[in-house]
Amino acid sequence: MPNPNAKFSKARRSQRRAQYYNRLEKNAPELTSCSNCGATHQMHRACPSCGQYRGRQIVAVKTDA
Ligand SMILES: [Zn+2]
C-alpha cells in the first residue's frame, strides 16, 4: 500500500491548514454600504434593510416587526 514516507511536522501541518482559512476569507462575500440607508449589505444584492438596489425598490420590506 502507498504510504507517506515522512511524517509532516506540526509546523507543516499548521501551514497547510492555515491555507484553508485564508481561502475562506478570500471567498467571503464582498460587503458594501447601502447608498439609500447606509446599512451594510452584500455587493450586487438588494439591501436587506431597505430592499433597494441601485436606487430602485426590489424587495418589499416589512416595516412593522
Ligand atoms: Zn438600504
What DSSP string describes the chain? ----SSPPPHHHHHHHHHHHHHHHHHTSPPEEE-TTT--EEETTS--TTT-EETTEE-S---S--
Instruction: For 5-35, write each residue's pLDDT tens digit.
Output: 889 999 999 999 888 877 877 777 888 999 8
Q: Does residue 49 form part of some domain?
A: yes
Q: Does residue 2 form part of some domain?
A: no
The total number of structural domains that make up the chain:
1
Q: Does residue 3 form part of some domain?
A: no
Tell me what the mean pLDDT of segment 33-58 comes to: 89
Q: Does residue 45 form part of some domain?
A: yes
CA dist 4 → 1, 13, 57, 60 (Å)? 10, 14, 58, 57
Largest CA distance in the chain: 65
User: Which residues have C-beta under 5 Å from ligand 1, the single-atom ion?
Assistant: 34, 36-37, 39, 47, 49-50
Q: What percent of the chain has pLDDT above 70?
A: 95
Kindly give the distance from the C-alpha atom of residue 57 to the centroid of ligand 1, in angstroms, as a whole number.
Answer: 10
Q: Does residue 35 form part of some domain?
A: yes
Report the predicted TM-score, pTM, of the whole model to 2 decimal places.
Answer: 0.51
* Domain limits for position 49: 10-57
Letter for the amino acid at 11? A
So what's the pLDDT on residue 24?
79
Kindly give the distance from the C-alpha atom of residue 51 to the centroid of ligand 1, in angstroms, as a whole number.
Answer: 6
Q: Does residue 65 form part of some domain?
A: no
So what's the pLDDT on residue 29?
81
Kindly give the distance from the C-alpha atom of residue 41 to the centroid of ligand 1, in angstroms, as a whole number.
Answer: 8
